Chain A
Amino acid sequence: MKYASLLLLIPAFAAAQSSSQGNAENGKRLFMRDSCWECHGTVGQGSRDGARIAATSLSLQGVIRYVRRPAGAMPAFSEKVVSDRDLTDIYAYLKSLPPPKPSKDIPLLNQAKNE
């Protein structure tokens, strides 16, 4: 019986990772493969070359639109380079990343800011 309940859990878990909104695990792989990390950082934290996109507040459609026709200097990724399907997985990865803590909760930053 114990094992049967575990078996019931597995599909639920798998569903969370591979929802219709994308597969975060595959999204992480694509995020690295398609060079997104080069400007946005490996955890989407952002840099001088790319915005912070971890836990983005944009919708999936908003991200797809932006990736195809970016307003700034970001390379424009066409469907040939990264498909909507792949972007859906990448989006799932970004949404799976935790938002950053407030700087006041990080002692090193809190100290640097307020000294």
Chain B
Amino acid sequence: MAKAKTGKASGHSSKPSGHGRRGFLKGVAAGAAALVAKPSAVSAQQAQTGPARRPAAPLPSATQVAFETGTPPETAQVYHTDRPGADFMVDVLKSLNFDYIFANPGSSFRGLQESFINYGGNKDPEWITCCHEESSIAMAHGYFKIEGKPILCMAHGTVGLQHASMAIYNAYADRVPVYLILGNEQDIAFRRSDVEWTHSVQDAASMVRDYTKWDDTPVTLRHFAESAVRAYKIAMTPPMEPVVIVAGGALQEEPMPEEDRKALRIPKLATTTPPAGDPNAVAELAKMLVNAQNPVIVAGRVARTPNGIGLLTELAETIQAPVQDRRFRMNFPTRHPLYNSGSVPEADLVLGLEVPDFWYVTHAQTPINRMGMESHSTVKPGTKLATITASDLFSRSNYQDFGRYAEVDLAIAADAEATLPSLIEACKKLITPDRKRAMEERGKRLAERHKQNRDRDFEAAAAGFDASPVSTARMAAELWNQIRHEDWSLVSDLTFVSWWPLRLWEFDKHYQYIGGHGAYGIGYGAPAAVGAALANKKHGRLTVNIQCDGDLNYAPGVLWTAAHHNIPLLNIMHNNRGYHQERMFLADMACRAGRDVEKTHIGVALDHPNINYATMAKAYGMYSAGPIENPNDLGPAIKAALEVVKKGEPALIDLVTQPR
């Protein structure tokens, strides 16, 4: 079989009329033979005088001689193939059962895209058009936290990845697997223009290697198959993280080699079982928990699956320990008497479950309003500290999302949810009638405290209830009034609205709250909401997103994605007209320096003019209402928007709100 110049075998192809490719290469081979004859003559001469000297380098082939000394020979006039390499890649990727592909288009993966659309039938996975690579990754981030399945994303290996990188870091810090394929052309011969040169890179994944778990650049289709399956397995092993596969352009677009057609196969995927804690360590922890007078459980990202909520509830109820929720996931029912009814400073044992910032749970630092830095422990002397986290099994060092080193008495390197069943059983075996009585008394005190906390939250919500701009408590109350009987899902981070939904609503299902960005990279919110809403769509859930204005402005094109793909989603703006956190920080800095705070709107305010998000949404084809500044207008606006969302479309209400 004649080989193409790059070493890749040609496949079945239709030939043009006239001088065939094989005929041409025969001629070249004859010429090459003539060239090769000359060194033999030289060797014969040398044989008379002494041993032949080996040439310092291999002699050029006839093709190379022709290429470098004259007009390059006309390459094969092959126009079609019935099997580009990308078709096989699609077969491999389909075996991994992705629901969707989220991507902003890029020429470096045009081969794969066409194969998915035509050969793959644009189904399982279906292609979702994104207007920015950061949006595609953040959509995948939100989707996973609802559905528990990673999404396939694609991007250029250079400019696309640069756009996507913040969102990848967010997913990494939030322990969410995103499966990313980058297009790249390693072979210079296949770069057809300056565009393809600027879009090519030696090591495409290097830019994000510090915040992905694994990457590979396969050089053959067989290599691609193994790496693609391996990447999925690694991504889905706790701690779950993003992974990257680089798919060469020519590998996608050139015909599949003939020998590969018969030999290639798709490796079987074997997902790992999540690592559970060492039995001896679990037994020791159970003893600590059962014997503690005031144990406190701190929950980070415990509920990796819907089962996690039930398991954590069972542990807490077994030992009557309060659960302080760090709000990275839906971990614990918010109206349970043990929810947030504990106190770390009062505890004699603090157990952190998948808590990324455990040091901050047990320490306080000099606040930003004064100079210098001191820190101190906030727990009583003698308090025992224990952790269960898969993060102890894997971490990188460059990006510092791992937080301060936490000095603990027992560190179990395992997945918390996977360890809970054995921990619960171990606790149950140790509880005596005396301990049970003590736990029940503790439970009653905690239930009373939970009630007091709740009362306090409702009284706090009443403050400024009729204010304009609209209070965030009012927004939460109006929303709850209209969604509480639906199968709802709130898919936004709630830090900037003072956590009102978590304080006023009743959360008890895993999809009702999905935490936040992971690495505090703003711009996550809008696309994550769209991704989560797409996951909710097949389940018929009502998805609600409280959307910060600063966040939406990074890549508002995601509103179009929601409209174009008929993704039902109610967006309600938290429009405080600025990057408010930074605005407050500037006031901190001005006060520290004893300077005028009046100018601290510079560089952070989003006003003059005010941005009209209702008009923005309309421009992207989405139903919208507002801007609303009168709180009495909010209820009717929500009612009208919900009618749109329940028909299967997205909607946006531009609500002008209090800053927090």
Contact = CB atoms under 8 A, between A and B. Distances in A.
Interface in A59-112: 70, 72-78, 80-81, 100-103, 105-106, 108-109, 111-112
B660 A109 contact: no
B635 to A, nearest CB: 9
Interface in B555-601: 580, 583-584, 587-588, 590-592, 594-598, 600
A39 B584 contact: yes
A113 B454 contact: yes
A54 to B, nearest CB: 7
B604 to A, nearest CB: 10
Nearest to B580: A38
Given A48-B660, A100-B462, A101-B462, A74 B369 contact: yes
Interface range for A: 35 or more
Contacts of A43: 463-464, 467
Contact of A77 (B495, B591, B600): B591
A46 B465 CA distance: 11
A111 B481 contact: yes
A55 to B, nearest CB: 9
B597 A35 contact: yes
A70 B588 CA distance: 12
A33 B596 CA distance: 10
Contacts of B477: 106, 108-109, 112
Interface residues of B, number: 45
Majority secondary structure, A binding face? loop
B467 A48 contact: no
Contacts of A102: 459, 462
B458 A38 contact: no
Contacts of B580: 38
Interface string A12-55: 00000000000000000000011101110111111111101010
Given A45-B464, A52-B460, A75 B498 contact: no
A112 to B, nearest CB: 5
Interface in B625-660: 658-660
A112 B462 contact: no
B462 A75 contact: no
B505 A112 contact: yes
Given A81-B596, A100-B465, A47 B459 contact: no
Interface of B: 367-370, 454, 458-465, 467, 469, 471-473, 477-478, 480-481, 484, 495, 498-499, 504-505, 580, 583-584, 587-588, 590-592, 594-598, 600, 658-660
